[in-house]
Structure 1
Amino acid sequence: MKGATFGEVFAVKEFRVLFGSFVLLVGADGIKMLALSVLVYARTGSPGLSAAAYMAGWLPYIAGGLFLLSLADRMSPRALMVVGELVRAVTCLLLAYAGLPVWGLLVLVLVTGLFSPVFFAARAAMLPEVLPGDAFVLGRSVLNVASAGAQIAGLAVGGAFLAVTGPSGALAATAGLSVVAAVVLRFGLPYRPARGADGRGGAGAVRQTLRVNRRLLADGRVRGLLLAAWLPCVCVAGAEAMVVPYMGGQGQAGVVLAAAAGGMAVGEFAVGRFAAPELRERLSLPLAVLLGVPWLAFAFTPGVVWAAVLAAVAAAGLSYQLGLQRRFVDVVPEEVRGQAFGLQSAGLMTGQAAGAALVGVLGEVIAPSYAIAAAGGAGILVALALAGVLRPARVQLRT
């Protein structure tokens, strides 16, 4: 199987539009959640409510993934993505200037966030249509690298806006970025019809989402690939959730977590760029095991430098997912591809939150260093248990 190149991927205009709007989306979301967290803390002085505000944007993925994902296949993907950006813009302006009480701010973020997995699913499902074959896998690699960079840049830019304009100004800037992304998407992408439109909406969308979710999870091939995408990352999220208490403060923890983001970006780039398609799929199992191995060394309480190195090496293993992407597209029916990608994303978000919570509870019982090592050990066991899925059969490596 001939591998694609980055030049071929970026030569596709539709991908360039998706890439640019995705960078704006990730950066804008980082600014929005940071500004909201600061705004809530300024009003209440409560660290707990501030943390809750920061996480509020991710929580709706659970409900949206369970009940609304069929909309991703029942509406034009361009329209969904544009609406998603406009919803974000209006939400940010309301957060900044509507004078809502703290509970109103959190409710607004939770309610508007219910549709976030639908907007994400529309984008993810469009990618294999724009980039067929191995170019799709390389495109996913590019977006993952961009996501890591945009998160870091979004937090840095958000901090700068907060220092100069305060949280309201930062939220207004986020709204502006969202409007720019909406314009880019509307005029940069051609119209594509919905994959599975049937003319129904409302409660019909909820019923169809539940029905298709059951159908996808009942298929052993789809279920196996979903579990392989979710479970190793659950353990990694648990380990990373313990970094702050392990390091004893935000400063050194930030260094370690930034190193992890950098390691993920390097791993995604290296595997996407230099591994042929067949090799990429064969590397899924060893890379998934790599996710857990470095965290074991935290049992020996490394300092900040070694902790950062270990976190970076572990996060590089996240590139194991590139070897699953083509197979996932192959086994999912095209008419429900949007919902399938949305389910994959929603399960990943939910699992990471659960992993962080579980290891957090463990960290209350044993030292954070041992909790991190335990999460790494669990990651290794999970990867080995999923070896049958992570190691593709020879017949699957077809041209």
Structure 2
Amino acid sequence: MNVVDDRGATFGELFRIGEFRALFGSQLLLTLSESVKMLAFSVIVYDRTESAGLSAISWMIGFLPMMLGGLFLSSMADRVRPRVLMVTGELTRVVVCLVLAFAGLPVWAMFALVLVTGVPTAVFMAARNAVLPDILDGDRFVLGRALFTMTGAGAQIAGLAVGGAMLALTGPEGALLITAGLSLAAVPLIRFGIANRPARAVKDGTGAVRATLRGNWELLTDRTVRGLLLAGWLPLMFMVGSEAVFIPYLTEMGQAGAAGFVLAATAAGMGFGEFVVGRFVSPANRARLGLPLVALMGVPLIGFVTAPGPWWAGILAFLAGNGLAYQLMLQRPFVDAVPEERRGLAFGLQGSGMMTVQGLGGVVAGGLAELVDVHHAIALCGGLVLVSGALLWRPLTPAR
């Protein structure tokens, strides 16, 4: 087990580790390329079909196969060398981008390609997440996760901005070609920058799907692991659900143009909270902030009961976003609670669960908005954040 003292890690410590620099650089390229890829794909679909609905589906289509991959295939993240999986993931993205750009496939075949190749993406991502604790020990791991979250959000925004510029200059096919180049550039970073660690689990002849289902069941029946997973999922579900109805809320007020500002304020709050809690709060004090941060996430949302205008809505959303830093105090206990030979499987289950509950959160918030005024639906989501935190007080509270 890693030894953790009460001194918080620093960003300088992280970047003095060569493997972390390679993993961080490849992660940035991945986020940039994936954002540009899905933007270009949605433009191609709209150009060919002139259907806003199909274009929107093409933008979100990657979530479903990743969820399925996490639920049914994530045991492969422990049964194959992680570096092999990461390189395979980048090369797969290169091939998909080139086929989408130049193969002249009909739209239905393009959808099928993105769906099918999206399933193992969950395995590739689980391998990335599972190798991080091998590279970073103690509090460095927690700060590394915070840094990945912060820069991931920034890289996604940058990817959309860069993607828009690429589309204007080169068209969607050219943007996909550049995306393939970004993914290809990540291959040598991974191949030469990250150690070729062995697979964690020994193959026993069990198929990947059966091994994943059995492993997921055993993780979920472990009281400690289940509590940590639910603590990471449920408050997040209602927080994301509230975001799903920000657009109709502001549209009803005649301020539809401010929706982007409020959503961006949430993302900014998340980044700010992760930065402050990850960098400036000691590990011991951070462990005590689980419940207070969940409360910080829920209480500002309850403030929407007053039907605030765009500026106040942005301030409340920023404050609520800060509370998402509660996820940091779950990271080290989760890694310590999971058997090493199932770490990749555990991260796959965690990731697929997060994608699932975020979708469910939108359904819950949308259903509430059909029953009550939209601002009341957002306030109810804030109340549900608090209720879920209270029910999950044990995993959100440090062991005594």
TM tier relative to shorter chain: over 0.9
Q: What secondary structure does 2:62 align onto? A: coil
- Aligned equivalent of 2:236: 233
Determine the C-alpha separation between the residues in 1 that align with 2:299 and 2:164: 34
Determine the C-alpha separation between the residues in 1 that align with 2:339 and 2:284: 23
- For the 8 Å contact 1:292–1:377, the answer to whether it is kept is yes
- Aligned equivalent of 1:259: 265
- Aligned equivalent of 2:10: 5
AA matched with 2:10: T
For residues 367-395 of structure 1, the C-alpha deviation after alignment (integer angstroms, 9 at most, x for no partner) is 3222222211111111111111101122x
Q: What secondary structure does 1:291 align onto? A: helix
How far is the alpha carbon of 1:87 from its aligned partner?
Answer: 0.7
Identify which of 146, 164, 168 aligns with 2:173. Answer: 168
Determine the C-alpha separation between the residues in 2 that align with 1:8 and 1:296: 39
Determine the C-alpha separation between the residues in 2 that align with 1:365 and 1:171: 43
Determine the C-alpha separation between the residues in 2 that align with 1:119 and 1:379: 31
Larger mean Cα displacement after TM superposition, 187-196 or 250-259: 250-259
- Aligned equivalent of 1:204: 207
Larger mean Cα displacement after TM superposition, 252-261 or 273-282: 252-261
Matched residues, percent identical? 57
Which consecutive segments of 4 or more residues in structure 1 shift more than 6 A?
none
Identify which of 339, 342, 347 aligns with 2:345. Answer: 339
Q: Aligned runs of 1:76-87 on 2, under 5 Å?
A: 76-87=81-92
- For the 8 Å contact 1:289–1:384, the answer to whether it is kept is no
Q: What secondary structure does 1:59 align onto? A: helix
- Aligned equivalent of 2:216: 213
Unaligned runs of 5+ in 2: none
- Aligned equivalent of 2:149: 144
Q: What secondary structure does 2:202 align onto? A: coil
How far is the alpha carbon of 1:199 from its aligned partner?
Answer: 6.5
- For the 8 Å contact 2:71–2:348, the answer to whether it is kept is no
How far is the alpha carbon of 1:61 from its aligned partner?
Answer: 2.1
TM-score, normalised relative to structure 2: 0.95
Q: What secondary structure does 1:389 align onto? A: coil
Q: What secondary structure does 1:194 align onto? A: coil
AA matched with 2:225: V
1:117 equivalent in alignment to 2:122: yes
Larger mean Cα displacement after TM superposition, 85-94 or 164-173: 164-173
How far is the alpha carbon of 1:244 from its aligned partner?
Answer: 1.5
1:246 equivalent in alignment to 2:249: yes
Identify which of 354, 359, 364 aligns with 1:358. Answer: 364
1:323 equivalent in alignment to 2:329: yes
Identify which of 255, 268, 278 aligns with 2:274. Answer: 268
How far is the alpha carbon of 1:26 from its aligned partner?
Answer: 1.2
- For the 8 Å contact 1:148–1:264, the answer to whether it is kept is no
Larger mean Cα displacement after TM superposition, 45-54 or 12-21: 45-54
Say how many residue pairs are matched. Answer: 392
- For the 8 Å contact 2:86–2:190, the answer to whether it is kept is yes
- Aligned equivalent of 2:316: 310
Determine the C-alpha separation between the residues in 2 that align with 1:219 and 1:119: 25
AA matched with 1:99: G
TM-score, normalised relative to structure 1: 0.95
Determine the C-alpha separation between the residues in 2 that align with 1:165 and 1:252: 30
How far is the alpha carbon of 1:63 from its aligned partner?
Answer: 1.2
Larger mean Cα displacement after TM superposition, 385-394 or 121-130: 385-394
How far is the alpha carbon of 1:62 from its aligned partner?
Answer: 2.2
AA matched with 2:40: A
How far is the alpha carbon of 1:357 from its aligned partner?
Answer: 2.0
Larger mean Cα displacement after TM superposition, 158-167 or 315-324: 158-167
For residues 127-179 of structure 1, the C-alpha deviation after alignment (integer angstroms, 9 at most, x for no partner) is 11100111111111111111111111111111111122222222222111111
Larger mean Cα displacement after TM superposition, 180-189 or 321-330: 180-189
Determine the C-alpha separation between the residues in 2 that align with 1:119 and 1:267: 28
For residues 78-128 of structure 1, the C-alpha deviation after alignment (integer angstroms, 9 at most, x for no partner) is 110010011111111111121122221111111101011101110111011
How far is the alpha carbon of 1:250 from its aligned partner?
Answer: 5.9
Determine the C-alpha separation between the residues in 1 that align with 2:37 and 2:80: 27
> For residues 138 and 376 of structure 1, do their structure 2 counterparts lie closer, same or farther at Cα, with a shift above 3 Å needed?
same
- Aligned equivalent of 1:397: none
Determine the C-alpha separation between the residues in 2 that align with 1:229 and 1:287: 12
Q: What secondary structure does 2:147 align onto? A: helix
Larger mean Cα displacement after TM superposition, 275-284 or 374-383: 374-383
How far is the alpha carbon of 1:297 from its aligned partner?
Answer: 1.8
AA matched with 1:219: D
How far is the alpha carbon of 1:366 from its aligned partner?
Answer: 2.8
How far is the alpha carbon of 1:364 from its aligned partner?
Answer: 3.0
Identify which of 376, 380, 386 aligns with 1:380. Answer: 386
Unaligned runs of 5+ in 1: 395-399
How far is the alpha carbon of 1:365 from its aligned partner?
Answer: 3.3
Determine the C-alpha separation between the residues in 2 that align with 1:310 and 1:109: 37
Determine the C-alpha separation between the residues in 1 that align with 2:172 and 2:261: 24
AA matched with 2:17: V
Larger mean Cα displacement after TM superposition, 35-44 or 138-147: 35-44
